[in-house]
Amino acid sequence: MEPGRVVEFSTDEATWMSLDVSPDGQHIVFDLMGDIYRIPMSGGQAEQLTDGIAFDTHPRYSPDGKYVLFTSDASGEEDLYYVDVQDTSEITQITKGGNTRYTNAVWTPDGKYVVASKGGLTPKLWLIHKEGGSGTALIGEPQNLKIIDPAITPDGRYIYYSQRSGAWDYNAQLPQYQIGVYDREDGSTDRVTSRYGSAFTPTISHDGKWMVYGSRYEDQTGLVLRDMETGDERWLAYPVQRDDQESIATMGVLPGMTFTPDNKNLLTSYNGKIYKINIASGKETEIPFEADVHLEMGPEVFFKYPVSD
């Protein structure tokens, strides 16, 4: 389908922005209204990396910094793609859904594979080569187990993820999600949280020492910091923004987050802005951006309705 309309405007804020940082710490990529953008680490004018009427989300830098992985419905269903950051006309499609959905993908540390959630209402964890192919199911049972938001440890051995029983519930009683872990060496799984407010969207530091995840306390959502060696936890930021526990959470229970390459700060988004949160002090610093949005949309559709005289 060719675009039939274009909407253009400038903005310095957006909702539900998943983001990632380049391995050299020089740039941040994020999604905004279905396209992928890039800004300098210090903030500034955003460069648009993808365009068109497709809805592109959840950007993730490859370990060598050459590509950005993302989910897109350009094929008519949600598949995985990556774009060359030096030549954005070079976009590679990894998966071809075949009436299924791929979401929340991340790279393996060697840059050869991606790990993603694959499926409908209760997706499972899959490993897929970056050049495509049918992939390998990592966790397939039980059938009603929903697995999203994968995060891989730096050594590539463990994959953490958000898990719940069933797809979703209206007016749900907490907890809904907990964090699980899959061991790639022996295929075993385990649950590593038991929070009443749920635990979701795990994010691992580049040195493997820290994990940040979302949880709800009372009627608001915050970010919890866990020491991976001792298991000690504390609130890193509270409150942040709403979570998506009471829906299908097709873009994750929270937007994608990341640690800076030096592991001293977490980069995340809430209240329409991008923030850097210091791990030691919890101090938040806004990273400002300005995006000139060029939003291509399909043509308007008109229907004729016969009216009897």
Name the nearest CA neighbour of 123 among 253, 255, 268: 253
Q: Is the pLDDT of residue 47 over 80?
A: yes
Q: Is the pLDDT of residue 211 over 80?
A: yes
What is the residue-wise DSSP string for 188-214?
-EEE----TT--EEEEE-TTSSEEEEE
Predicted confidence (pLDDT) per residue in 65-113, tens digit: 999 999 999 999 999 999 999 999 999 999 997 778 999 999 999 999 9
Name the strands in the sheet holding 27-32, side by side, starting at the edge strand that comes first in the sequence.
Answer: 19-21, 27-32, 35-40, 47-48
Question: What pLDDT, on a 0 to 100 scale, did the predictor assign at position 190?
Answer: 97
Name the nearest CA neighbour of 74 among 301, 293, 299, 298: 298
Percent of the chain with pLDDT over 70: 100
Predicted confidence (pLDDT) per residue in 156-197, tens digit: 999 999 999 988 878 888 999 999 999 999 999 999 999 999
Q: What is the mean pLDDT of residues 5-18?
A: 96
Specify the higher pLDDT residue, 3 or 244: 244
Residue 294 pLDDT level (bands cut at 50, 70, 90): very high
Exposed, middle or buried, 32 (CB in 10 Å: 0-12/13-18/19+)?
buried
Question: What pLDDT, on a 0 to 100 scale, did the predictor assign at position 105?
Answer: 98
Q: What is the mean pLDDT of residues 241-262?
A: 95
Q: Is the pLDDT of residue 288 over 80?
A: yes
Q: What is the mean pLDDT of residues 215-243?
A: 97
3-state secondary structure of 220: strand
What's the whole-number average pLDDT of the chain? Answer: 95
Question: What pLDDT, on a 0 to 100 scale, did the predictor assign at position 80?
Answer: 98
Q: How far is CA 263 from CA 39, 164, 216, 252, 275, in A?
A: 20, 29, 24, 23, 15
Predicted confidence (pLDDT) per residue in 112-166, tens digit: 999 999 998 999 999 999 999 989 999 988 899 999 999 999 999 999 999 999 8
Q: Is the pLDDT of residue 1 over 80?
A: no
Question: The whole model's pTM is what?
Answer: 0.94
Name the residue ranges covered by the structural domains of the chain. Answer: 5-297
Are 16 and 272 in contact by the 8 Å Cβ rule? The answer is no
Q: What is the mean pLDDT of residues 22-39?
A: 98
Helix (H) or strand (E) holding 178: strand 178-183
Tell whether domain 5-297 is in CATH 2.40.10.410.
Answer: no
Name the nearest CA neighbour of 224 among 236, 206, 216, 210: 236
